[in-house]
Amino acid sequence: MEAKEIALGETTLGIELGSTRIKAVLSGLGGTPLASGSFEWENRRENGYWTYPEGEILSGLQACYASLKEDVFKRYGEVLHKIGGIGISAMMHGYLVFDEKNNLLVPFRTWRNNTAARAAEELTNLFSYPIPARWSIAHLYQAILDKEPHVPHIAFQTTLAGYVHFLLTGEKVVGIGEASGMFPIDSKTSDYDKQAEEKFNLILKTKGLPFTLREIFPHVLVAGQEAGRLTKEGALLLDKEGDLQAGIPFCPPEGDAGTGMAATDAVAPRTGNVSAGTSVFAMIVLERPLKEVHPEIDLVTTPAGAPVAMVHCNNCSSELNAWAELFGEAAKVFGKEIPKDELYSSLFKAAEKGEKDCGGLVSYNFVSNEQIAKVEHGRPLFVRTADAHFTLPNFVRAQLYAAFSTLKTGCDILKGEEVNISSINAHGGLFKTEGVAQGILAAALEVPVAVLETAGEGGAWGMSLLAGFLLSSENSLEEYLQTIFAGSKKKVLAPKQEDVVGFRAYHARYTEGLPVVYEAVRSLH
């Protein structure tokens, strides 16, 4: 049956360019994942900026698609020629600017850069709207403030998802969820906020720049709208072997926040999702606007344009991964090679035996800057008092607590705004070991946390669902996802009171100790 679906093109393809992996998922029209492919990559720091080279964006995309194509042939004996719909997703925000001939003016600046802090602060005050330093408009304004010579030559600015979508379709568009990480959005008009746009255009005019915001920013589309079709050039770029047919419709390109919402069926008011990987973020669909402006909280949207409060933390699993690798190296010294999945599973299970407050141990996982914690540069630290209970279970548990501690700080702000959260759906590799990270997250946020059986498919699968909505007859994205997830299996864990008390105690100690991190930033260069 699946082979016939693939041969007839009754499928959708989602491709997501994440921080450490480019992943592709081919799904049936009912949302069932059929095949996948991937390509591993890492950002690098060059000339003061976190970046990915332009050539690697293209080669990584091609390698990922080739991997998917190979998986399809191995599983079903079919060569991919037709696909019903395609969607492109990527890490949000950042800075990609091009001249009128579509030449990249400066290397891609990712969301991880904290170089636009001054611009973010000024724009937050100007718009009375929280503008984080990683947002695209903050990067642009910082380049203007710094009088970077490329700025007058900008003809087009977009995100990574928008750029790849443009390469494949020729269309300069983004989905509204992605756009909401570029510039403030008005959910009533499903477009850039008019008042903020006028204020920024006045800045551009005052600076003598030859463009307006709308002239260089991509057009905004909502889920369900067609965003272009695969061109002949795009088909050859994606599939170097030339088997893929042109003309395939695309849904609007989205950010990894939007695909996380789709992949976890979290687009209705009072629902939310947590995506945990290199970064961690919580998306809470709002019933009403927030009362105050909070620099720690992003105001973004679902792929359909509904308002969302986003708590975004730059750091999640990187420090935990580094310690896991170290333990793996230690095992090799004793002649034992431990498979990666077994290593993580064993460490996570050890953490279950740790004390609820981690026995006095504290871990700070700041591999890079962290706005919510006011940490300007990455300084990962592990701290303990002399009488703390220094055991392996406590140590690993502290690493897991650290992964969610800054997230808790942000979500506590939402609680102060009386934002009601009925449930959280979680996804990401951190939740592969059943129940461990899930239970800790429930304790941190003090709400029930569900992990769906499809949680491991991640944002690429969520993007394939958004491509499926383009082909669907359902009236709303919420209705479509309810159909897709009807009968899906999930495990729900309610927070245990002893875990909540333990995490609160840890978080208080963690917060009190942040000056140690600030001193490390000041002293260690």
Q: How far apart are alpha carbons 139 and 145 in whole angstroms?
A: 10
250: β partners:
86
pLDDT, tens digit, 9 for 90 and up, residues 72-129: 999 999 999 999 999 999 999 999 999 999 999 999 999 888 899 999 999 999 999 9
| Consecutive H or E run containing 233 | helix 232-238
**Mean pLDDT estimate for the chain:** 94
Q: What is the dihedral of CA 96, 101, 105, 111, to 10 degrees?
A: 0
> Among 433, 428, 353, which residue's Cα sits nearest to residue 395?
353
Q: What is the pTM of this model?
A: 0.86
pLDDT at position 454: 67
The amino acid at residue 413 is I
List the chain residues with pLDDT less than 50.
Answer: none
pLDDT at position 488: 81
DSSP 372: T
pLDDT at position 277: 83
pLDDT at position 275: 85
First-to-final CA distance of the chain: 59
Alpha carbon of residue 142 to chain centroid: 23
pLDDT at position 122: 97
Q: How far apart are alpha carbons 347 and 512 in whole angstroms?
A: 27
Strand 219-221 relative to strand 173-175: parallel, antiparallel, unpaired? parallel
pLDDT at position 455: 60
Domains and CATH numbers, the chain: 93-158+183-216 (3.30.420.40), 265-316+409-484 (3.30.420.40), 318-404+498-523 (no CATH)
Contact of 468 with 408, CB cutoff 8 Å: no
pLDDT at position 150: 98
